Amino acid sequence: MQELHWGLPVIGYLFLAGVGAGAYTVSSSALLRGGANGVTSDNFDIARYGALLAPIPMIVGTGMIIFELGTFQAAVANGDIGLFFKWINLFLTINMSPMSIGSWVLGVCIIASVLYAYTFLSSNSAPDDANNGLRQKMAWIGVPLGIAVAIYTGVMLGAMPARPFWNTPMLAILFLISSLSTGVAGILLLRALFAHGQTAPASDPPTDLDHSVGKGAYMLASSDVKLIGLELLAIALFILFAKLAIGNASEAVSIILPGGALATMFWGGVVVVGLLLPMLVELKYVIPALRHQQPYAMPRGTEIAVCAVILFGGFMLRYVVVAAGQMTGPMGI
C-alpha cells in the first residue's frame, strides 16, 4: 500500500470547488431559463440561493489547497513573510499544464461568482432591478466557467499517467456530473433552511412550513434524479473502461471492486448511501408530480436529509478516488 501524500485538504478542495462550480452553473442556468419571456419568481429564487452559495465553497476550497502547498507552514517555520505569498506563482507561471490552466480558470470563476452573488445581495433584488444587466452577464459567463472548473477537478488528477486509477477521461466526466448534483443539493439545502415562505403540505395550498413546494424545487429535484442516474452510468463506464484496459488500469480499479481495500467505502458510502438512497427518496416525490400532476411537496426534514446525504456522497467520491489513486500507484508508464 502506498503512503497517502494527498489528504483531507486536497480532498476538501476537490469537493468544495465542485460544489461551488456546480451551484454557479445551476444558478446561472435557472436564471437564464426564462429566455425572452423573462425569469419566473421560482427560477429567480433558485438562482439567488445558488448565487449566494457558489463563491463560498470555492474560496474555502482554494484556501485549503493553498495551505496544502506548504507555503504557510514554511513561512512560519522560517520566519519568512514572503513565503506566505509563494502560491501566487501558480498564476505567474503560465503554461499549458492542467495546474496552470486550472488555477486561472478557478480564479476567474471565483471573481465572476462574487460579482454574480453581489447582484443578489439586496433583500429587494428582483429580475428587473438595477443589477439585472450585470447579473445576466455573469450568468452567461457562469455556465461555461462553472462547467470548466468542475471538469478541471477531474482533469487535474487524470493528467497523471503514472497513476492508472486516475488516468482516464471518465474521471473528469464523473466529477462534472457529481459537481452539478452536489451543487443542486447545496441550493436545495439552503432553500429548505431559509425559504420559509415557500412551503406547504402535498394536498393543500402553500401555507404550511413543513413541506417544500414550488416549480423551482420540483425542477431541481427532478434534475437531480437525472444527474444521479448519469453519475451511476459514469461510474459504470469508469469501471468498465478500466477493466477492459490491459495492465495497470485494470489492476488499479480492483481496489474498489468487491474484495478490494476500498470496496465497502465506495459501494456503501458512495453508491448506496450517496446516490441510490437519495435518488429513491426524490423519486417518491417527483413521480406523482410528473405522472399525475400532483403538487410537488417534500417534507422539509426529508429534503434537508436528502441534500446532506448527497453532499456526503460527493465528498466520499473524492475521498475514495484520491485515496485509490495513491494506493495503487505510481506504476510504470
| Interval 10-33 mean pLDDT | 94
What pLDDT shows up at residue 3? 58
Q: Which of 163, 94, 194 is nearest to 326 (CA)?
A: 163
Q: What is the pLDDT of residues 62-75, one digit of tens each?
A: 888 777 665 555 55
Selected residue with higher pLDDT from 122 and 71: 122
Query: 56-70, 132-146, 217-231: lowest mean pLDDT where?
Result: 56-70
What pLDDT shows up at residue 37? 55
Q: Report whether pLDDT(208) > 70.
A: no
Contacts of 140 by beta carbon, 8 Å cutoff, 6+ apart = 28, 32
| Interval 74-84 mean pLDDT | 55
* Overall pTM surpassing 0.85 (yes/no): yes
% residues pLDDT > 90 (the chain):
55
Q: Report whether pLDDT(18) > 80.
A: yes
Confidence of residue 132 (pLDDT cuts 50, 70, 90): very high
Q: Report whether pLDDT(198) > 50.
A: no
| Interval 168-186 mean pLDDT | 95
Q: What is the pLDDT of residues 147-160, one digit of tens each?
A: 999 999 888 887 77
% residues pLDDT > 70 (the chain):
80
Which three three-digit cell numbers place residue 48?
Answer: 439567488
Q: Report whether pLDDT(229) > 50.
A: yes
- CATH superfamily, domain 8-327, is Formate dehydrogenase/DMSO reductase domain (1.20.1630.10)
Query: 43-57, 75-89, 93-107, 127-141: lowest mean pLDDT where?
Result: 75-89
Selected residue with higher pLDDT from 295 and 148: 148
Q: Report whether pLDDT(201) > 50.
A: no
Confidence of residue 331 (pLDDT cuts 50, 70, 90): low
Q: What is the mean pLDDT of the chain?
A: 84
What pLDDT shows up at residue 275? 97
Selected residue with higher pLDDT from 120 and 158: 120
Confidence of residue 274 (pLDDT cuts 50, 70, 90): very high
Q: Report whether pLDDT(292) > 70.
A: yes
| Interval 297-301 mean pLDDT | 90
Confidence of residue 260 (pLDDT cuts 50, 70, 90): very high
What pLDDT shows up at residue 200? 43
What pLDDT shows up at residue 197? 47
